[in-house]
Amino acid sequence: MTDDARSMRERMHAGDLYLADDPEIREESHVALRLARELNETDPTDREARTAILRRLLGAFGEGSEIRSPFHCDYGYRTTVGARTFANFGLVCLDVARVTIGDDVQIAPNVQLLTATHPLEAGPRRDKWESAAPITIGDNVWLGGGVIVCPGVTIGENTVVGAGSVVTKDLPADVIAVGNPARVVRPLPE
């Protein structure tokens, strides 16, 4: 599809089309899969061991944060988690692009943070080209159960996203948003 001289990894990191089955990219994914498996098999009450694994897996993992198992990610190092953040069971983080999770974030069960996307055209999609756009979750955000955050979305600080919502566009700070697609229903009370 392209005659670009950059490596597939460089293309992926730039948010451009790349092939995920490139050997270098595949090995990075395998490292993350092994660490996620280790995390998911670790005693859920052994917070010290779990934190050590998360610090090896993720780009950053803040003090006092917790991610309950099962947790799944593509690369791990593309995700950063701030301080005092809590993610309940079943977080899926397709971190092809950067995923930035702020401080004091609450993530309910079965939330999906999905940076990956694919071409709309059948040919490039069949040829396995894909790309990604970053996700940013601001400080003190609460994502309800089953929320899906789509590629390229930023959620402003203090915002609450209701259970089952699909966030397809940026949400401002200090609002409550619900639905599919998620829409702001009102500002947060003072």
Q: What's the rounded mean pLDDT across residues 43-53?
A: 97
Give the model confidence (pLDDT) of 107-143 as tens digits.
Answer: 999 999 999 999 999 999 999 999 999 999 999 999 9
Beta strands 106-107; 112-114: pairing state: unpaired
Task: Mention every residue, 6+ apart, whose C-beta is less than 8 A from residue 116.
Answer: 74, 94, 96, 97, 130, 131, 132, 151
Residue numbers annotated as active site: 118
CA dist., res. 126 & res. 120, Å (int): 10
* Sequence-separated (6 or more) residues with CB below 8 Å from residue 112: 91, 92, 94, 147, 148, 149
| 34 SS3 class | helix
Poorest-pLDDT segment among 3-7, 38-42, 175-179: 3-7
What pLDDT sits at residue 3? 60
The pLDDT of residue 161 is 98
pTM: 0.94
Cα gap 65→51, rounded to integer Å: 8
94-110 pLDDT tens trace: 999 999 999 999 999 99
Tell me what pLDDT residue 40 has: 98
Give the pLDDT score at 121.
Answer: 95
Query: Rounded mean pLDDT of 22-34?
Result: 95
Q: 11-20, 44-53, 85-94, 150-159: lowest mean pLDDT where?
A: 11-20
- Does 87 have pLDDT greater than 60? yes
The whole-number pLDDT of residue 20 equals: 84
Picking from 119, 181, 190, 122, the residue whose alpha carbon sits closest to that of residue 153 is 181
CATH H-level, domain 8-182: superfamily: Hexapeptide repeat proteins (2.160.10.10)
Stretch 48-72: mean pLDDT, rounded? 98
CA 8: distance to chain centroid?
Answer: 21
Q: What is the pLDDT of residue 1?
A: 52
What is the arithmetic mean of pLDDT over 43-72?
98
What mean pLDDT do residues 140-159 have? 98
**What integer best gives the mean pLDDT of the chain?**
96
Percent of the chain with pLDDT over 70: 98
Cite the DSSP H helix spans in 22-92. 23-41, 47-57
Q: What is the pLDDT of residue 64?
A: 98
